[in-house]
């Protein structure tokens, strides 16, 4: 009986070898993934060199206790680490766990035939440093702090910008926090700061206006709130030129306009608001109530709902007293408005002036200006109280004059 042998082509042999090699590689990769260690607790010198690990030389000592039962001492499973001491090349000693101090003792519970509880404390019983060593250490610390102070001074430099004599510089880092209580969704805020026309100025590059991003609202209780968290910053300078004591300086005003934009790109004015910037430095949170002009009738509301758009103010400074207004009384009679929502601002104000550090007569002269500036809100409230008192006194005088004279006369005759 004869058997016939058939030679396998070389390309099939090579293909089968490649398939077998890929299977072996796949098994090796799977085994490597299962056995790989993410953290290398004891890196070798070659591993440290290849991975550029910052490795500070350490000397380590363990204080251990053998808590095995009688007759079974020397077994590794009964050994417990009580404390670990590490000293690096910089002379820093690390004790883990820390000295007991006022804390309770540390506890170790053993497992085995009979469970035992061990308590121990770690105390620092080293002798106190000698006065010479403490003095040397204080000198080293003093020298270190002095060098650090010089380093910080070099970073700041000597070209610290100062204000002009008699001037006050105002820095404001603000944030539009949120808007709530408005009718429509997808809100954005247009805002700007108006400086008084007299004695106030700002750098040419300074931007005093801005527009926030469009923000969707979320339910918070009974209201819907849009959180903007939009930051802005600006600076302005006040130069006191009027030496009269009766001159009350004006303060910058922050205007805001809240608008909504829907899916069909229809925008609506949701409200206008204005507030005077705080006259005192520090952090302030202001809530500005808003209103919008409105038309009477159903047609205007239908137009606002379906088409978008509404009555708008041509000049937002009309919310306050416009800087171009020269009269005595500003009348808004005939303007129909509707109360809408509110906008929350968070302002961090910083003031800079030479009057804070000078002790000459210029400081006394400028001090009155700063007092008037810082007490602007207080003087406004006092002015309002005095004005209300004068109005009440005027009404009392008019009522007194309208009464019959016989009621006012104490010697009036009685008729029986």
The closest of 415, 339, 24, 388 to 182, measured between CA atoms, is 339
Report the pLDDT value the prediction gives residue 126, as an integer from 0 to 100.
82
Cis peptide before 97 (omega within 30 of 0): yes
Report the pLDDT value the prediction gives residue 232, as an integer from 0 to 100.
94
Q: Does residue 243 register a pLDDT over 60?
A: no
Q: Does residue 337 register a pLDDT over 80?
A: yes
Report the pLDDT value the prediction gives residue 231, as an integer from 0 to 100.
94
Q: From CA 194, how far away is CA 171, in angstroms rounded?
A: 15
Confidence of residue 116 (pLDDT cuts 50, 70, 90): confident
Per-residue pLDDT tens over the stretch 193-213: 998 888 888 888 888 899 999
CB 230 within 8 A of CB 189: yes
Report the pLDDT value the prediction gives residue 149, as an integer from 0 to 100.
87
Q: How many helices (H) and strands (E) does the chain have?
A: 7, 15
The closest of 281, 364, 277, 295 to 335, measured between CA atoms, is 295
The predicted model scores a pTM of 0.51
Which residue did the predictor score with more confidence, 345 or 303?
A: 345
Token pair listed for 80: 């417990």
- Positive or negative, the CA dihedral 304, 307, 308, 312 is negative
Q: Is 37 helix (H, G, I), strand (E, B) or coil?
A: coil
Per-residue pLDDT tens over the stretch 12-21: 545 566 556 6
Which residue did the predictor score with more confidence, 78 or 255?
A: 255
* pLDDT (average), residues 149-159: 79
Confidence of residue 41 (pLDDT cuts 50, 70, 90): confident
For the domain made up of 167-242+249-325+332-355, give the CATH fold.
Immunoglobulin-like (2.60.40)
Pick the range with the lowest mean pLDDT from 3-7, 77-81, 173-177, 380-384: 3-7
* pLDDT (average), residues 290-295: 86
Per-residue pLDDT tens over the stretch 356-367: 665 444 445 545
Q: Does residue 246 register a pLDDT over 90?
A: no
The closest of 112, 108, 126, 286 to 191, measured between CA atoms, is 286
Q: From CA 247, how far away is CA 241, in angstroms rounded?
A: 10
Angstrom CA distances, 376 to 278, 280, 284, stand at 9, 9, 16
Token pair listed for 160: 């610290």
Token pair listed for 202: 């700002």
Q: Which residues pair with 138 in a beta bridge?
A: none
Q: From CA 136, how far away is CA 409, in angstroms rounded?
A: 94
Which residue did the predictor score with more confidence, 209 or 264?
A: 209
CB 255 within 8 A of CB 176: no
Report the pLDDT value the prediction gives residue 381, as an integer from 0 to 100.
56
Confidence of residue 8 (pLDDT cuts 50, 70, 90): very low
């Amino acid at each position: 009986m004869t058997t016939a042998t058939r030679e396998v082509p070389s390309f099939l042999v090579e293909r089968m070898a490649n398939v077998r090699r890929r299977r072996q590689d796949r098994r090796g990769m799977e085994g490597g993934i299962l056995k790989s260690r993410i953290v290398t607790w004891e890196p070798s010198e070659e591993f440290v060199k290849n991975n550029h690990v910052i490795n500070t030389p350490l000397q380590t000592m363990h204080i251990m206790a053998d808590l095995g039962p009688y007759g079974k001492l020397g077994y590794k499973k009964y050994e417990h680490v009580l404390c670990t001491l590490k000293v690096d090349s910089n002379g820093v000693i690390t004790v883990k766990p820390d000295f007991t101090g006022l804390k309770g003792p540390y506890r170790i519970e053993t497992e085995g035939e009979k469970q035992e509880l061990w308590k121990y404390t770690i105390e620092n019983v080293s002798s106190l440093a000698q006065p010479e060593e403490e003095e040397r250490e204080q000198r080293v610390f003093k020298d270190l702090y002095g060098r650090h102070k010089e380093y910080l001074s070099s970073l700041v430099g000597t070209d610290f910008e100062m204000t002009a004599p008699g001037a006050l510089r105002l820095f404001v880092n603000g944030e539009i926090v949120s808007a709530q209580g408005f009718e429509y969704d997808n809100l954005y805020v247009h805002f700007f700061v108006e400086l008084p026309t007299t004695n106030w100025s700002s750098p040419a590059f300074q931007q005093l206006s801005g527009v926030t991003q469009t923000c969707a609202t979320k339910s918070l209780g009974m209201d819907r709130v849009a959180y903007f968290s939009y930051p802005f910053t600006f600076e302005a300078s006040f130069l006191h030129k009027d030496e009269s004591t009766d001159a009350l300086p004006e303060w910058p005003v922050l205007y805001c306009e809240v608008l909504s934009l829907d899916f069909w790109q229809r925008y609506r004015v949701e409200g206008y608001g204005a507030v005077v910037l705080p006259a005192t430095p520090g952090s302030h949170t202001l809530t500005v109530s808003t209103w919008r002009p409105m038309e009477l009738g159903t047609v205007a509301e239908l137009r606002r709902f379906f088409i978008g758009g509404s009555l708008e103010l041509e000049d937002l400074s009309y919310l306050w007293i416009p800087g171009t207004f020269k009269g005595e009384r500003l009348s808004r009679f005939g303007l129909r408005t509707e109360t809408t929502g509110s906008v929350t601002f968070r302002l961090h104000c910083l003031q800079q002036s030479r009057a804070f550090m000078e002790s000459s007569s210029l400081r006394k002269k400028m001090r009155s200006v700063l007092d008037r500036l810082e007490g602007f809100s207080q003087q406004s409230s006092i002015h309002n109280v005095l004005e209300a008192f004068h109005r009440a006194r005027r009404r009392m005088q008019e009522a007194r004059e309208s009464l019959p004279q016989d009621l006012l006369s104490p010697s009036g005759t009685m008729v029986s």
